[in-house]
Structure 1
Amino acid sequence: MTKRLENKVAIVTGGSAGIGAATAVRMAEEGATVVVFGRREEPLKAVVAKISAQGGKAAYKVVDVSDEQTFVDAIDAVAKEYGKLDVMVNNAASYTWGGITEMSTADWHANFTTTVDGTFWGTRKAMQLMQENGGSIVNISSICGTFGTAWMAGYSAAKAAVTNFSRAAASEGALSNIRCNVVIPGVIETEATAGMLSDEKSREGTAKLIPMKRVGTATELANAVLFLASDESSYITGASIPVDGGRSSDLHTAMD
């Protein structure tokens, strides 16, 4: 291991499964002390146990990111316990399905409470804690926020907001050496995408839309987050990096 995050303290929200869990594991492999946030205790315990079994350093906190005070207090507690916060990964998200004409206002708002508000609260608190020593904030958007996805209008709008909010945060944080970047996943094989990849026909249909002709893995996404969290990306801020097998660069297939 190269220990690219040696002596760094990192928080990963939505860390109990999928992209968040893979990110926590990779960061710990590279030397970070990682605290994973999530709403479900048993999966969080499993992630921490996996990291510990590999010789890494990790802990967890049961946190609902949509509850502002609880979330902010949990971030403060991590910084107090470990003496600092170097990396903040805002990965937690919420979404609803449904057509626009049938969508209730409550369902529309449900897409924003965790995805946008949580990203704002996490970024704001991290920036406050990083004023003296700098740090890296990585926010997770989605290809839905780049092109929009039918039946997921609220989620698409929320993820677009995450991307543009992060650009503004990068501009404000730059003078304090606080970097803020965005990773934009395409189709990544996780529990959240299991439904759309449930059989070989569905998987092949999805793969046809991707120039690399396959879906991505959570570890491939986590590697991009790791790079942005590390000092290797020390002159990169305000960037939006797609991790999607080339789909966002292929406008024809992206619009199909």
Structure 2
Amino acid sequence: MAGSLQNKIAFITGGGSGIGAATAERFAREGATVIICGRRLDPLLAVEKRIKQQGGSVNSVVADVSNETQFIQALEKVSNDYGRLDILVNNAMAFTWGGIEDMTTEQWHENFTTSVDGTFWGTRTAMKLMRQSGGGAIINLSSICGALGTAYMAGYSASKAAVVNFSRAAAAEGARDGIRVNVITPAIVETPATAGMLSDDNSRQNTEKLIPMGRVGQPEELASAITFLASDDASYITGTELPVDGGRSAVLITALD
């Protein structure tokens, strides 16, 4: 049986670990040819090896999405090599910790270069390429931090809020050309980026108490939602924000034991 992404050409940023890697593996199982992008080759090759062992089609490209030229060239090369681009997942992220009073302007901007500038560059390029081939799907990754204030993560929170409203505008512009743009909003997911927040039993338990489902998310669970939005099953969905957060954004406060 053909998968939900059969014969699609998909580009995933931050594809060497976490949500990006899980999404790449899921896309490949669904029949897509997957191009995974990241700044370091070794993690990409590890994901590539797993996908190929499962019979999937995948290639790696080293590019920094916070570098406009590198990112655009990587996307354009995929379109030239394969004749089109059907799916873009803007998953790469970067953030800095720190209180507002102590945050430098440089640290503030570090939160935006990958999450906002990179998402803009990727979406702009993908929309041009997808318009030429009759449409496509763009899925941008935000965060619950973009919806709720998070102390000591003001820059990251602001950047992820920007991703949501940018995506709505892009959806409005792309709709008539068959280009769908949607946002996934996770809470905490068990990835290398969150390892420090879950480094001991006490930290994990305190985090899990805040989540109605009582556990942190897994990358594969985010990959399932991303796959749905990338597929034709979501053909009439654009401009939406889909929380995948165990119910965290649905509650003001929890008193679960």
Aligned positions of 1:94-113 closer than 5 A? 94-113=94-113
Quick one: distance in 2 between partners of 1:213 and 1:66?
35
Cα deviations across residues 215-240 of structure 1 (Å, max 9, x unaligned)? 11000011000000000000000000
2:16 paired residue number:
16
Shift of 1:196: 0.9
* 2:195 paired with 1:194: yes
**Which residue number in structure 1 is paired with residue 166 of structure 2?**
165
SS at match of 2:163: helix
**Cα deviation 1:103-148 (Å, max 9, x = unaligned):** 0000000100111000000000000001131000000000000102
Check conservation: 2:8, 2:31, Cα contact below 8 A.
Answer: yes
Query: Offset of 1:87 from its aligned partner?
Result: 0.2
C-alpha distance in 2 between matches for 1:180 and 1:18: 22
Contact 2:210 2:253 in 1 (8 A): no
Cα deviation, residue 171, structure 1: 0.3
Say what the alpha-carbon RMSD is for the aligned residues.
1.1
Q: 1:48 to 1:174 in 2, by over 3 A?
A: same
Shift of the alpha carbon at 1:2? 4.9
Matched residue count: 254
User: Structure 1 counterpart of 2:38, which letter?
Assistant: G
- Secondary structure of the 1:169 match is helix
Aligned AA for 1:200?
Answer: D
Query: Given residue 252 of structure 1, which amino acid in structure 2 is its aligned partner?
Result: I
Aligned-residue offset at 1:93: 1.1
- Offset, 1:199: 1.3
Q: Structure 1: which 5+ residue stretches go unaligned?
A: none
Sequence identity (%): 62
Could you say what secondary structure the match of 1:216 adopts? coil
The 8 Å contact of residues 95 and 156 in structure 2, kept in 1 or not, is answered as yes
Alignment of 1:170-185 (within 5 A): 170-185=171-186
Unmatched runs of 5 consecutive residues or more in structure 2: none
> Residue in 2 aligned with 1:121?
121
Moved over 6 A (4+): none
TM value normalised by structure 1: 0.98
Could you say which residue in structure 2 is the equivalent of 1:26? 26
Residue type of the partner of 1:148?
Answer: G
- Give the 3-state SS of the residue equivalent to 1:12 in structure 2: strand
CA distance in 2 between partners of 1:150 and 1:131 (Å): 40
Q: How many Å apart are 1:200 and its aligned residue? A: 1.3
Cα distance in structure 2, aligned partners of 1:117 and 1:165? 11
For the 8 Å contact 2:88–2:139, the answer to whether it is kept is yes
Residue 216 of structure 1 corresponds to which residue in structure 2? 217
